[in-house]
Amino acid sequence: MKWWQDAVFYQIYPRSFGAAKTLDGTGDLTGITCRLDYLSDLGIDALWICPVFQSPQVDHGYDVSDYRAIDPIFGSLRDLDDLVAQAHLRGIKVVLDVVPSHTSNQHEWFENAINHGPGSAARHRYLFLDGTEPPTDVQSSFGGSAWTRVTEADGSAGQWYFHMHDAHQPDLNWAEPSVLEDFEGIYAFWLDRGIDGFRIDVADHLTKDVSRNDVATGKELLEHGSKSRTHEVLRSLRTLADSYPRDIALVGEVGAEGPELELYVRPDELPMVFNFPFMHAGWNAERLRQTINDALRLRELTGVTPTWVTDSHDEPRSPSRYSSDRRRGARRARAMALVLLSLPGVPFIYQGQELGLPNVDDIPEELLQDPIWERSGHTNRGRDGCRVPLPWSGNAPAFGFFGAQVRPSSPRRRTAKPWLPQPPWFADYAVSAQLENDDSNLALFARLLALRREHVGLRRGTLTWLESTNEVLAFERQCDSDVISVIVNLSDHDVPLPPGEIVARSWSGPDADGKLAPDSAVWIRPAALDRSPAVAKT
Ligand code: GLC
């Protein structure tokens, strides 16, 4: 079995995780290194670090201007090497996030495309078309037209380039073989530095026929078919990863679903993709059961590893999605942790999820930073609400976000402001407070992760559905004599619990007393002599 096939990944959004050396508002690489003991105590196996490459930061790093350099706001190559070495010392792997579908408009490749003019080889590496108007009506996924016109070297109004996202993120032309050659070099550069794998940003967005005007959005232009060059490219990257003597993790961000998705998740292509249907199933037993079954069926069909994800830097935080009532949302998110960490395959935890952070929905409009806010003409507030810098200490300025390596008495450290404002109620969620409390969200995650390590059934066992009513999720994980039943009550009434020893429960307070309250979940070691029926019908 490869190391990543049952690993627990923790996603770091470096702008918002923690700062060590810098006081300019964003987190940095050393801020991650300084907090590795926290992650190690939490019990995760691997980090996925969102892009830290050189970037004008229009889309906060997803607009790369040099794939081989670290952006100074995050530190240096040395800081990254140090982070990787320190993580490895603690048995934690490090996966980087490479963005192959588009670059920054400040990338040298794009600057050459502009300078060398229409018809040049440099321009052919991007998606340019002629016209006096935008060549098609296709909309960018951040809002507004997917086309922007350039000014040619002689000052005349020139060609249009296609951008699926912001205008500062021109899409590359993956039909041009030199683009793949360049990316093979970039992937090898990082693998040679000891990185353990990659998250491939919008992996299904590589090839598209941008001259089509019969669709409304860029996403509909994507070519998923088995002959599409995207598959060829992903297979080449896979071959490159397989040429290293150690196991390299590859996880793709793929929006395709159903039979189209099956074309990507294959042993010779992407061994893992993010499970977005699971994320979007919300607090709904039927949809969750369906998405779990779909992922397991795909594993059977192709041998790939299922992933489980409820939160990321692109989605409102799950407690706020599960209910508009903050207490209920919190209870449900705790219960979902017992689902996330007990399914076969690879769970992803997004920074702050272990703290139970709700989304911050009231950032003042003038402080919103996500390019979606501007591009949507101020109709979509974007993703800032799940990206607010983490609270480390309830009492410290900026909740301890800054200056792990700056003297606490430094006046600048006391007045530094994070790039997005933290609401006062973040104090209740601070790491320092949660470490003191055995019932905290953080304590729950640490307990579940420790149990997952202890129980081979939870990591590698089979999954069998147990008899239950529609609004209850009940399944058993088993490997030899190690058996754990997972029972989640998504209904609005108590349900009876089967006999057995409760090894983990989602709520704090009184014991279960034979019943499972709404919005809660348990892990049970079934009573040896009476293992069925596991959940009585109500
Ligand atoms: C991916 C990233 C998202 C980014 C987009 C464009 O979807 O997760 O944050 O904005 O790609 O690069």
Determine contact, residues 208/221, Cβ cutoff 8 Å.
Answer: yes
Ligand 1 test: best mutation among 96, 165, 171, most atoms within 8 Å of CB?
Answer: 165
Q: Enter the tokens of residue 12.
A: 């770091």
Q: What is the pLDDT of residues 407-458, one digit of tens each?
A: 777 888 888 999 999 999 999 999 999 999 999 999 999 999 999 999 999 9
Q: What is the pLDDT of residues 194-205, one digit of tens each?
A: 999 999 999 999
Closest alpha carbon to 254 in 298, 299, 227, 224: 224
Q: Enter the tokens of residue 27.
A: 């987190």
Query: pLDDT band for position 122 (50/70/90)?
Result: very high
Determine contact, residues 523/461, Cβ cutoff 8 Å.
Answer: no
Determine contact, residues 162/60, Cβ cutoff 8 Å.
Answer: no
* Residue given tokens 């018809």 in the structure block: 119
Question: Which residue, judged by its Cα, is nearest atom 7 of ligand 1?
Answer: 202
Q: What separation in Å is there between the alpha carbon of 59 and the centre of ligand 1?
A: 8
Q: Which atom of ligand 1 is nearest to the CA of 371?
A: 10
Q: What separation in Å is there between the alpha carbon of 32 and the centre of ligand 1?
A: 21
pLDDT at 535: 52
The question of whether 201 is a catalytic residue gets the answer yes
- 115-137: buried (b, 16+ CB within 10 Å) or exposed (e) per residue? eeeeeeebbbbbbbeeeeebbbe
Cβ atoms within 10 Å of 408's Cβ, excluding its own: 11
Q: If you average pLDDT over residues 27-39, what whole number do you get? A: 97
Set 196, 201, 311, 476: catalytic member = 201
Q: What separation in Å is there between the alpha carbon of 202 and the centre of ligand 1?
A: 7
Q: If you average pLDDT over residues 378-385, what whole number do you get? A: 97
Three-state SS letters, 505-528: ECCCCCCCCCEECCCEEEEEEECC
Amino acid making up residue 319? P
Residue-wise DSSP of 142-187: TSSBSEEEEEPTTSSEEEEEE-SS-TTSPBB-TTSHHHHHHHHHHH
Question: Which residue, judged by its Cα, is nearest atom 5 of ligand 1?
Answer: 62
Question: Which residue, judged by its Cα, is nearest atom 4 of ligand 1?
Answer: 62
Q: If you average pLDDT over residues 373-386, what whole number do you get? A: 97
Q: If you average pLDDT over residues 323-344, what whole number do you get? A: 98
Q: Which residues contact 373 (CB under 8 A, 6 or more apart)?
A: 365, 380, 381, 382, 384
Length of the chain equals: 538
202 lines ligand 1 (CB under 6 A): yes
Percent of the chain whose pLDDT exceeds 70: 98
The question of whether 253 is a catalytic residue gets the answer yes
pLDDT at 510: 85
Q: What is the pLDDT of residues 45-100, one digit of tens each?
A: 999 999 999 999 999 999 999 999 999 999 999 999 999 999 999 999 999 999 99
Q: What separation in Å is there between the alpha carbon of 62 and the centre of ligand 1?
A: 6
Determine contact, residues 238/268, Cβ cutoff 8 Å.
Answer: yes
Q: What separation in Å is there between the alpha carbon of 201 and the centre of ligand 1?
A: 7
Ligand 1 test: best mutation among 48, 58, 62, 253, most atoms within 8 Å of CB?
Answer: 62
Question: Which residue, judged by its Cα, is nearest atom 6 of ligand 1?
Answer: 62
Report in angstroms the alpha-carbon separations of 66 from 62, 100, 269. Answer: 11, 12, 26
Ligand 1 test: best mutation among 67, 201, 375, most atoms within 8 Å of CB?
Answer: 201
Q: If you average pLDDT over residues 160-181, what whole number do you get? A: 97
Set 253, 269, 354, 384: catalytic member = 253
pLDDT at 533: 47
Report how far residue 185's alpha carbon sits from residue 182's, in angstroms, rounded to the nearest whole number: 5
pLDDT at 287: 97
Q: What separation in Å is there between the alpha carbon of 54 and the centre of ligand 1?
A: 16
Q: Enter the tokens of residue 336.
A: 């979902």
pLDDT at residue 238 tops 90: yes
Q: If you average pLDDT over residues 22-32, what whole number do you get? A: 96
pLDDT at residue 536 tops 70: no
pLDDT at residue 537 tops 70: no
pLDDT at 538: 38
Report how far residue 535's alpha carbon sits from residue 538's, in angstroms, rounded to the nearest whole number: 9
User: Which SS3 state, helix, strand or coil, does residue 295 take?
Assistant: helix
Question: Which residue, judged by its Cα, is nearest atom 2 of ligand 1?
Answer: 201
314 lines ligand 1 (CB under 6 A): yes
Q: Which atom of ligand 1 is nearest to the CA of 99?
A: 12
Ligand 1 test: best mutation among 67, 164, 206, 314, most atoms within 8 Å of CB?
Answer: 314
Query: pLDDT band for position 352 (50/70/90)?
Result: very high
pLDDT at 223: 85
Q: Which atom of ligand 1 is nearest to the CA of 102?
A: 12
Q: If you average pLDDT over residues 468-477, what whole number do you get? A: 97
Q: If you average pLDDT over residues 264-286, what whole number do you get? A: 94
